[in-house]
Structures are given as C-alpha cells and as structure tokens.
Structure 1
Amino acid sequence: MNAAIQSQISYSDTLKARKAHLSGLINLVKPKSGKTTKIETMTIAAIKAEISIIEQQLKKRG
C-alpha cells in the first residue's frame, strides 16, 4: 500500500492563498455600473472583513 503524499504548504502560505482568492472574489462581485444592491454591499463588506482577519493573522505569524 502506498503512503499518502502530504503537502508541505505552511499555514502562512494557506492564508496568503485565501487572501488572494477573496480579493479575486471582490473583483467578481463589484458592480460594473454605479448602482449596487444591498446583497452586493453586504457581500463585499463580509469579504473585506475576512481579508482583514487574514491580514491580522499574517501579522501575528510574521
């Protein structure tokens, strides 16, 4: 039986990848026109809050 290959990705790298992913999501959610819906506004706020938490975690680790 073959042993499972384990990834050597650090927690900091995981946080950086998550932050990059969330930043990409913000670009998808941002409205193209000047008008935004409440859902878009709340979604963008939630994503920004999550990015802020990730940045705090990265500062603690670095």
Structure 2
Amino acid sequence: MVTENAVLLKRILEVETEVECQKRFNTRLIAESDRGAKPVSLPQKTKILISSTAPLRTEILKIGD
C-alpha cells in the first residue's frame, strides 16, 4: 500500500510539473499571437496612393527624401 501511494504521489507531482510547463508555453503562444494581431503602421513620411485609372496598382511614395 505504501509503495502504491508513493508511485501515485510521484505521478501527481510529474503531472503538476507538466501542467505548469504547458501553462508557460500557452502564455508565450498567446503573447506571440497578440503581437502578430497588432496592426503595423507605415512610417509617417510614407503615403500609399491608389491610382484611379488602374485600381489594382499601388504606388508608394517617400515624402521628403
């Protein structure tokens, strides 16, 4: 009976350690996902012009360079 309890206690401790590892991993994945979901802004001196004569063509102009 004592041996069975020791084996079960060891398994419980291993599982708790694994759960904590998975929680840390999940936290990192959520943070990475949040960073990837943030919009990326263009530098202030950059403008994107969409030509009205060619709607699928986009030109990027640097202002002040």
TM-score (structure 1 length as normaliser): 0.42
Between Structure 1 and Structure 2, which shows a larger proportion of helix residues? 1
Q: Which has the higher strand share?
A: 2
TM-score normalized by structure 2?
0.40
Larger radius of gyration: 2
